[in-house]
Amino acid sequence: MRDVAIIGVGTTAFGEHWDKSFRAIGIEAGMKAMADAGISGSDIDGMYIGNMSAGHFINQKNIASLIADYSGMSTNHIPATRIEAGGASGAVAFRQAFMAVASGLSDIVLVGGAEKMTDLDDVKINSVLDTTADAEWEAGMGMTFAGLHAMIAQRMIHDGTATREEIASFAVNSHYHGALNPDAQFRKAITLDTVLKSGLVASPLRVFDCAPISDGAASVVLCPLEDARKYTDSFVKVSAAEQASDTLALFQREDITSFGATVAAAQKAYRKAGITAKDIDVAEVHDVFTVSGIMALQDLGFFRKGEAGKAVLDGQCQVGGSAVAVNTSGGLKARGHPIGATGVAQIAEIAQQLRGRADKRQVENARYGLAQSTGGTGSVAAVTVMEAI
Amino acid sequence: MRDVAIIGVGTTAFGEHWDKSFRAIGIEAGMKAMADAGISGSDIDGMYIGNMSAGHFINQKNIASLIADYSGMSTNHIPATRIEAGGASGAVAFRQAFMAVASGLSDIVLVGGAEKMTDLDDVKINSVLDTTADAEWEAGMGMTFAGLHAMIAQRMIHDGTATREEIASFAVNSHYHGALNPDAQFRKAITLDTVLKSGLVASPLRVFDCAPISDGAASVVLCPLEDARKYTDSFVKVSAAEQASDTLALFQREDITSFGATVAAAQKAYRKAGITAKDIDVAEVHDVFTVSGIMALQDLGFFRKGEAGKAVLDGQCQVGGSAVAVNTSGGLKARGHPIGATGVAQIAEIAQQLRGRADKRQVENARYGLAQSTGGTGSVAAVTVMEAI
């Protein structure tokens, strides 16, 4: 297996892009990543696309071919593959691209993630989101994705491993960083009160506990580490890209306040990278709800169970804080959550941090970074570890 | 890169399974493949699932986690990944699994393909199928998947590269073999008259030119070639697994009577396997319509343009015929076409042929076999070459 490097990244602004089509945002991110990497389309010999549901959102499946076509690469007939893994679609697509380069089957691979969600009404959008839960035993019984996460929050509060305020503080942390990111959907800092007084969604979770509905795309370019310097002086090493599964339905887990798939993927990733959780300087975690952000920090080993909420409420996870810097992009909550794009955008943010290109949200001397994505209610998780070179 | 072997295969009967759920057929195929390979669930360290549209057909996305869960493998938190590439979903999933084993990232990988289509009404089913065409420039304008293939047939007839009877004869060839396959959806031989007098779908294509709507699942187990004998005495080598893309929309091609993605994937696959088209003894090709079957035989290099139809009409592609044996399983037309399952089932059929286990439809002394799948109107193609050991 060859070592793999990220040599370029590109993202669109996240938000409501009623003036741009799915293919337009997909291409915009891809072109930016290629320009950043200093390559042209004819250099690319493989493509992976993370997308959750263009079939529902814009009546388009087979979108790997669409993106290859509209970026001009179908003339070379390059292999282009779409991955769907719910909210982890982008991160799992990245892992396939990593594998293609590591194996030697491909040399320069473009990974894209894209989703165009805002063309449907909210009821339809939410019925699509619920398809990542168990259709027979959860969604089919009327359970929603927010409802499942609300039960996790209730259990945490009941167990005493997080208070309501600690859970809510994850959104404050994300918005603090979102205000520093010009591409974020929400660029306003908020207070704990903003979260706790917003409209109720599924008790105890309120609107500001939930990531928004978004349009957006992100892209990164991979090549063998030994070739990276041919293209750019600024690249990062992909130290590990791991993935794990868990039961589809939440009720089948022994403990619903920890995602076993995140734990398993993280442990494997640390082992492969030869580091521990303590070595991570900056992390992007999957805060599709505030409560999933708190859980992630514990499942990734940054904090012991019951300690993550306190640290976030205390501001320790902000840029310049005393602990790992978390969701410097604004996270899913403030940067936005165009589902298929999210996992790739997280990796792009970490790559920019490790290249020292994160502007106002730069973590000083960041050496190791991590991105964590989940799909469904933690039924799939992907953990990617990167290292500054 | 390591050499890769197929050590087990399993398929359900294809047809209308109103009494079985998606998860039930997925597990049935997986369990059969594991039993055939002589392995248990704890041996498996990776899983890939080809599925086109469980999100539309049964309101379930995130189905890699579903299958991992219901086959008992989520307790080991193995990575499980879903691939969607329209009609090529199963074949592209197989290629990812091949890559995982070849790279050394995984050792024993289960590939599954499954689709449960018959729970929706025909109008809804067809609207889902049309999402693999271009939503903006084809399906959105009212063009159907059958309509696109009808235009290809019209062009062939106009150019004189196939007659209407030659095109229709592909269905006769598939049904001839389907009658020999106890798991086929249609197990009756038909005549040219059956095709030519069936109901009109999109001129010149009639009902018997079109593959049916089906439920079904298929599975194969892969491991490093050097380890295969630990598990079984009967295995085949995967000599090449290649994939290529083309424009999404048909009107953007210079020649619509050849699929450039099939040509590109096949040429790469032959080169990697160190053979030519002449070496292939048995092939499964993607006859989603009769006309796509005829095109495939030319694009794969078995016949020159204008020659495939004559050969099929002449019976040369039947078991025991003078040319390559084609679609001995019954093909998409007679075995059935549960979309995500099809690519995996084609590979399973070739593996059984090369193991000498194809019963009444066995091709004598078959050494090399090939499976070809396409998605959309040839906007993605996967070609897999296997060799008897």
Task: Choose the mutation target among B4, B20, B84, B267 for the interface with A, i.e. most A CBs under 10 Å.
Answer: B84
Report how far residue A151's alpha carbon sits from residue A141's, in angstroms, rounded to the nearest whole number. Answer: 15
Phi and psi torsions of A95, nearest 5°? -65, -35
Please tell me whether residues A178 and A49 are part of one structural domain.
no
| Angstrom distances, CA of residue A188 to CA of A176, A181, A363 | 7, 10, 20
A45 chain-B contacts, CB cut-off 8 A: none
Q: What is the DSSP string of B329-377?
A: T-HHHHT---HHHHHHHHHHHHHHHHTT--GGGPPTT--EEEEEEEETT
At which residue do the structure tokens 């076509």 appear? A69
The pLDDT assigned to B16 comes to: 96
A28 and A153 belong to one structural domain: no
Best of B76, B77, B144 to substitute, by most chain A Cβ atoms within 10 angstroms, is B77
pLDDT of residue B290: 98
Q: Mutate which of A44, A53, A62, A134 to test chain B, going by most B C-beta atoms within 10 A?
A: A62
Q: Are residues A178 and A289 in the same domain?
A: yes
Q: Of the candidates A99, A135, A246, which has its C-beta nearest B99's C-beta?
A: A99
Give A172-186 pLDDT, tens digit per residue: 999 999 999 999 999
Ramachandran region, residue B41 (left: φ > 0; alpha: ψ -120 to 50; beta: rest): alpha
Which residues from chain A sit within 8 angstroms of residue B23, using beta carbons?
136
pLDDT(A128) > 90: no
CB-count exposure of residue B372 (10 Å: 0-12, 13-18, 19+): buried
CA distance B126 to B135: 13
Tokens of A380: 């799939």
- pLDDT at A152 > cutoff 90: yes
Say yes or no: A66 and A195 in one domain: no
Distance between B349 CA and the closest CA of chain A, angstroms: 24
DSSP per-residue codes, B99-137: HHHHHTS-SSEEEEEEEE-TTS-HHHHHHHHGGGS-TTT
Residues 6+ apart with CB under 8 A from B331: B173, B174, B177, B178, B211, B284, B285, B287, B293
Closest chain B residue by Cα to residue A135: B60
Question: In terms of domains, do A192 and A227 share one?
Answer: no
Reduce the DSSP state of residue B225 to 3 states and report it.
helix
Are B74 and A245 in contact (CB < 8 Å)? yes
pLDDT at B201: 97
pLDDT tier for residue A54 given thresholds of 50, 70 and 90? confident
B206-B212-B213 Cα angle (round to 5):
135
Which secondary-structure segment (H or E) carries B149? helix B145-159
Distance from B319 to chain A by nearest Cα, in Å?
32
- pLDDT value at residue A270: 98
Q: Which positions in chain B touch A59 (Cβ < 8 Å)?
A: 131, 135, 139-140
Least reliable range by pLDDT among A16-25, A117-126, A260-269, B375-384: A117-126
Name the domain boundary from B203, B236, B269. B236
| Cα(B180)–Cα(B193) distance, integer angstroms | 21
Evaluate if residue A156 carries a pLDDT over 90: yes
Among the residue ranges A4-18, A372-386, B62-76, the one predicted with the least confidence is B62-76
Question: How far is A348 from A218, CA to CA, in rounded Å?
Answer: 8
Element (H, E) at A245: strand A236-245
Confidence category of residue A214, pLDDT binned at 50, 70, 90: very high
| Per-state percent for chain B, helix, strand, coil, to nearest 5 | 45, 20, 35
Work out how many domains chain B is built from and give that number: 2
**pLDDT for the residue A125:** 86
Q: Which of A386, A387, A382 is nearest to A113 (CA)?
A: A382
DSSP string for residues in A324-374: -EE-TT-HHHHT---HHHHHHHHHHHHHHHHTT--GGGPPTT--EEEEEEE
Written as six digits, the tokens of A25 are 């945002």
What pLDDT shows up at residue A44? 96
Structure tokens at A329: 């992009």
Domain that holds residue B306: 122-211+239-388
Q: Do A96 and A220 reside in the same domain of the chain? A: yes
- With an 8 Å Cβ cutoff, are A105 and B103 in contact? yes
Q: Per the CB < 8 Å rule, is A62 touching B104?
A: no
Among A58, A65, A103, whose Cβ lies nearest the Cβ of B380? A65
Mapped onto helix, strand or coil, the DSSP state of residue B286 is coil
With CA atoms as reference, report the closest residue to B140 among B131, B151, B150, B149. Answer: B131
Same domain, B226 and B374: no
Structure confidence at residue A220 (pLDDT):
98
Residues of B in Cβ contact (< 8 Å) with A133: 62
Give the H/E segment covering residue B262.
helix B260-273
pLDDT at A37: 97
Number of Cβ within a 10 Å radius of residue A237: 18
Shortest CA distance from B86: residue in chain A: A62
Q: Which amino acid, residue A281?
A: D
pLDDT number for residue B74: 79
Q: In angstroms, what CA-CA distances link B159 with A54, A89, B262, B313?
A: 37, 44, 21, 18
Residue spans of beta strands (DSSP E) within A14-151:
46-50, 80-84, 109-116
- pLDDT at residue number A304: 98
Q: What is the ipTM of this complex?
A: 0.93
A76 plus A160 within the same structural domain:
no
> Which pLDDT band, with edges at 50, 70 and 90, does A165 fall under?
very high
Whole-model pTM: value is: 0.96
Closest CA to A93 of B72, B225, B32, B64: B64
Better-predicted residue by pLDDT, A124 or A318 = A318
- More confident: A218 or A63: A218
Per-residue pLDDT of A19-40, as tens digits, reads 999 999 999 999 999 999 999 9
DSSP B288: S
Here the CATH number for the domain that contains residue A102 is 3.40.47.10
Residues of A in contact with B136 (CB under 8 A): 21, 23, 60
Q: Could you read off the pLDDT tens digit of each residue along chain B, which spans 389 residues?
A: 899 999 999 999 999 999 999 999 999 999 999 999 999 999 999 999 999 988 888 888 888 999 889 888 878 899 999 999 999 999 999 999 999 999 999 999 999 999 999 988 888 888 888 888 898 899 989 999 999 999 999 999 999 999 999 999 999 999 999 999 999 999 999 999 999 999 999 999 999 999 999 999 999 999 999 999 999 999 999 999 999 999 999 999 999 999 999 999 999 999 999 999 999 999 999 999 999 999 999 999 999 999 999 999 999 999 999 999 999 999 999 999 999 999 999 999 999 999 999 999 999 999 999 999 999 999 999 999 999 99
Of A217, A219, A234, nearest to A353 (Cα)?
Answer: A234
Q: What is the pLDDT of residues A319-341, one digit of tens each?
A: 999 999 999 999 999 999 999 99
Which residues from chain A sit within 8 angstroms of residue B90, using beta carbons?
A: none
Are A338 and A114 contacting, i.e. CB atoms less than 8 angstroms apart? Answer: yes
Q: Which residues contact B234 (CB under 8 A, 6 or more apart)?
A: B355, B357
Rounded Cα distance, B248 and A61, in Å: 10
Distance to chain A for B130, nearest Cα, Å: 8
Question: Which residues of B fall within a CB distance of 8 Å from A248?
Answer: 62, 65-66, 69-70, 74
Of all residues in chain A, the percent with pLDDT exceeding 70 is 100
First to last CA, chain A: 19
Both A262 and A377 in a single domain?
yes
- Asked if B227 and B164 sit in the same domain, the reply is no
Q: In angstroms, rounded to a whole number, what is the distance separating the alpha carbons of residues B83 and A84? A: 6
State whether B145 and B30 are in the same domain. no
From CA A170, how far away is CA A174, in angstroms rounded? 6
Task: Count H helices and E strands in chain B, helices first.
Answer: 14, 12
The pLDDT of residue B160 is 98
Mean pLDDT, chain A, integer = 96
Count Cβ–Cβ pairs < 8 Å, chain A vs chain B: 207
Which helix (H) or strand (E) segment holds residue A94: the answer is helix A89-103
Q: Of B305, B230, B49, B139, whose CA–CA distance to A92 is shortest?
A: B49
Same domain, A169 and A56: no
> What value does the CA radius of gyration of chain B take, rounded to a whole number of Å?
19
CA distance B81 to chain A (A): 7
Q: How many CA atoms lie less than 13 Å away from B340 in the CB half-sphere?
A: 31
Residues in chain A with CB shorter than 8 Å from the CB of B69 are 245-249, 252, 379
CA distance B14 to B11: 8
| Helix (H/G/I), strand (E/B), else coil: B42 | helix
